[in-house]
């Protein structure tokens, strides 16, 4: 049924944004995110679904869903616009209508829930709290072939940032900030063999990096979790 957009009952703004988190554009199939993205991009995805909601209402729905936990803010101050990653929290899928397969290609409530459970479990096992704070990036900004596994965004240690580029491999623009003096985030690189060792092996580095970034950028919305302070 996907493609007959005008024949479908309009989705609420909240449902349209959840659908955008699941598959991106209206005609795409459910998938995991390859990189952080901006609120504006998610709203554009949501607008491609059958909905009567305006851009402003969709933007408000995004803010509310981010507050509720569907999206994590990427806690780096090096991007021109705030960036987000999907949390893959399956409870949000329970809000979607039963006929959601008519709105998203190759989707059913069960298949979407299974995908998100698998993706969230894999990222938690491989990256721990790091991806909740710093998002995820396929190939982690590599300027070569994208053969590396997905891992936390390296932010100020991304090779595109360090080379002085205006944006990264995913066309995310960098802010006008100094390119030196930042905490070294390269320990998050999957190429170091860290992925095989698991997040417990570098949790001390994760916490130290967070503290350093929090001192450098106290205005970012750092989570109020004393366990990781």
User: Do 90 and 110 fall into the same domain?
Assistant: yes
User: Do 16 and 84 fall into the same domain?
Assistant: yes
Domain total for the chain? 2
Nearest to 27 by CA among 6, 54, 48: 48
Give the helix ranges, DSSP H, for 85-145.
Answer: 109-127, 130-134
Per the prediction, the chain carries an average pLDDT of 88
Can you tell me the distance from the alpha carbon of 206 to that of 131, in angstroms, rounded to the nearest whole number?
10
User: Do 137 and 120 fall into the same domain?
Assistant: no
User: Do 18 and 41 fall into the same domain?
Assistant: yes
Half-sphere exposure of 207 (CA within 13 A, CB side): 10
User: Do 12 and 114 fall into the same domain?
Assistant: yes
Inter-CA distances, 33 with 3, 105, 181, 215, Å: 22, 16, 29, 29
Contact status, residue 199 vs residue 51, Cβ threshold 8 Å: no
User: Do 14 and 100 fall into the same domain?
Assistant: yes
Q: Which of the residue ranges 54-63, 64-73, 117-126, 190-199 would you say has the lowest mean pLDDT?
A: 190-199
Mean pLDDT of 104-130: 91
Which of 91, 126, 161 represents a domain boundary (last residue)? 126
Q: Give the structural domain span for 44.
A: 5-126
Q: What percent of the chain has pLDDT over 90?
A: 69
């Amino acid at each position: 049924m996907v493609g007959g957009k005008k024949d479908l009952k309009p989705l609420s703004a909240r449902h349209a944004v959840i659908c955008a988190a699941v598959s991106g554009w209206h005609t795409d199939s459910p998938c995991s995110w390859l990189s952080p993205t901006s609120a504006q991009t998610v709203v554009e995805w949501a607008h491609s679904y059958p909905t009567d909601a305006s851009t402003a209402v969709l933007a408000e729905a995004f803010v509310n869903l981010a507050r509720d936990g569907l999206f994590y803010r990427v806690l780096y101050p090096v991007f021109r616009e705030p960036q987000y990653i999907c949390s893959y929290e399956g409870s949000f899928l329970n809000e979607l209508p039963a006929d959601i397969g008519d709105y998203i290609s190759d989707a059913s409530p069960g298949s979407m829930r299974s995908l998100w459970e698998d993706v969230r479990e894999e990222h938690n096992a491989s990256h721990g709290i790091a991806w909740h704070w710093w998002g995820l990036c396929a190939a982690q900004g590599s300027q070569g072939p994208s053969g590396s596994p997905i891992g936390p965004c390296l932010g100020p240690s991304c090779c595109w940032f360090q080379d002085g580029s205006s944006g990264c491999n995913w066309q995310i623009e960098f802010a006008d900030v100094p390119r030196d003096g930042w905490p070294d985030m390269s320990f998050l690189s999957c190429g170091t063999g860290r992925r095989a060792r698991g997040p417990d092996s570098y949790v001390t580095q994760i916490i130290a990096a967070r503290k350093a970034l929090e001192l450098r950028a106290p205005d970012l919305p750092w989570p109020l979790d004393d366990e990781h302070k």
